[in-house]
Structure 1
Amino acid sequence: MNFIVWLIIFCEVAFWVVILLGLVTRYIFKLKKLGLFFLALTPVIDLILLITTAIDLMNGATAETPHAIAAVYIAVSLVFGKSMITWADDRFRYYVMKQGAKPYKPTGLDYAKNYAKNWLKHLLSYLLGTGVLHLIVYLINDASRTAALDSVIHIWTIVIVIDLIICISYFVWPPKKESKS
């Protein structure tokens, strides 16, 4: 595997490690400022990935799927990062610390509305990520070096359309509450 693949893996692992460190520091060790510091490191991880990927491509590397996935990762992390941290925070507080209310799990029309809200976030991350990929294609200006980026844009376009169809289906057939047998 090349350097960029390892960097993406490192950044994904580091993202969840700093979130876990932030939650453990905040709730178990009662060090709220240090916990916030760890949680605030998540955008720094994204910045490291962005800069390293850009340098690699500007130094003449042929864009490969991992370069494109780096753009996808960064866009998704920027758009969903806060909600992912909140999701982890709520569950850590409830399941590990045994504090607070059980995290809300919507059903029916509420589920459909929540899914639609997340689809809009997906759309925003798609626009940011594909915008970055299109910018890289434009800056490199060599189709033979950027074919992998176009391929990921194509696949992500299919995924966003499928996700929209799923979103619409939840308004037509909203998920029902789980029955307690």
Structure 2
Amino acid sequence: MAEMLTQPLVLLIGACEVLFWVLLLAGLATRYVLRARRLSTVLLVSVPVLDVVLVPASLLDVAGGSPPGATHGLAAVYLGFTVAFGHSVIRWADGRFAHRFADGPPPPGAPRYGITKVRHEWVEWGKLALGWGVALAVMGLTALVAGTAVPEPVAWTTDPMWSWGARLVPVVVIWFGVGPLWATLAPPREPVRG
């Protein structure tokens, strides 16, 4: 693990995560505190550019002779979940900044009852499944560039890169069970006030 923390790709992943939040907060502060809408748009549009930097860096690393490993799996998972949840995080933060600094309405909470709750649970789980799918696709692309084979399903837990995809299986399954499946089978009803 200590060796992994000194690898340039891991440092790039860390830098991308830090820059995600720096650009997001700078973009929102510029929009709502400084009222510089054009500059804030440039900063906020720069947030997804980080993903464009990370994928080629990972692919160049394996194209240069590095065997696909845990670092490449981590980069794929980071990218997948940034693609799947990044827009929601930006929208969430934007609503809070607008409320706090621009007299915007209070941000709505997640729905708690009925069909809107069920729909919300399916959408959120769908984002998780999308993130997992993007991560697996990037791992497949990494294996293709490196000229390595995709391991048999049994070997997924032991392969350094693909084990990241295998680690997410329980998360995807448990989230499905306690999220959309549970909400669909037993949709929460608003309490009757009397």
Both structures adopt the same fold (TM-score exceeding 0.5): yes
Cα contact 1:8–1:66 (8 A) shared by 2:
no
Please, which of 142, 145, 149 is the counterpart of residue 136 of structure 1? 142
**Distance across 1 between alignment mates of 2:139 and 2:106:** 40
Partner of 2:153: none
Moved over 6 A (4+): none
Cα contact 2:71–2:161 (8 A) shared by 1:
no
1:98–1:29 distance in 2 versus 1, CA, 3 Å: closer
The CA RMSD over aligned residues, in Å, is 2.3
Cα contact 1:75–1:126 (8 A) shared by 2:
yes
User: Which structure shows the bigger proportion of residues in helix conformation?
Assistant: 1
Cα contact 1:19–1:85 (8 A) shared by 2:
yes
TM value normalised by structure 1 = 0.86
Give ranges in structure 2 of 5+ residues lacking alignment.
150-155
Read off the aligned partner of 2:73 and give its amino acid letter.
Answer: A
Residue 84 of structure 2 is aligned to residue 72 of structure 1: no
Cα contact 2:24–2:44 (8 A) shared by 1:
yes
1:176–1:6 distance in 2 versus 1, CA, 3 Å: farther
Partner of 2:103: 99
**Any residues of structure 2 matched to 1:1-181 within 5 Å, and which?**
1=5, 2-94=7-99, 96-97=100-101, 99-105=103-109, 106-109=111-114, 110-142=116-148, 147-167=159-179, 168-174=181-187
- The percent identity for this pair of structures is 30
Residues 75-100 of structure 1: per-residue CA shift (max 9 Å, x gap): 22223222211111001122x31612
For residue 175 of structure 1, report the CA deviation from its aligned partner: 5.8
**Distance across 1 between alignment mates of 2:58 and 2:64:** 10
Give ranges in structure 1 of 5+ residues lacking alignment.
none
**Bigger Cα displacement from structure 2, 168-177 vs 98-107:** 168-177
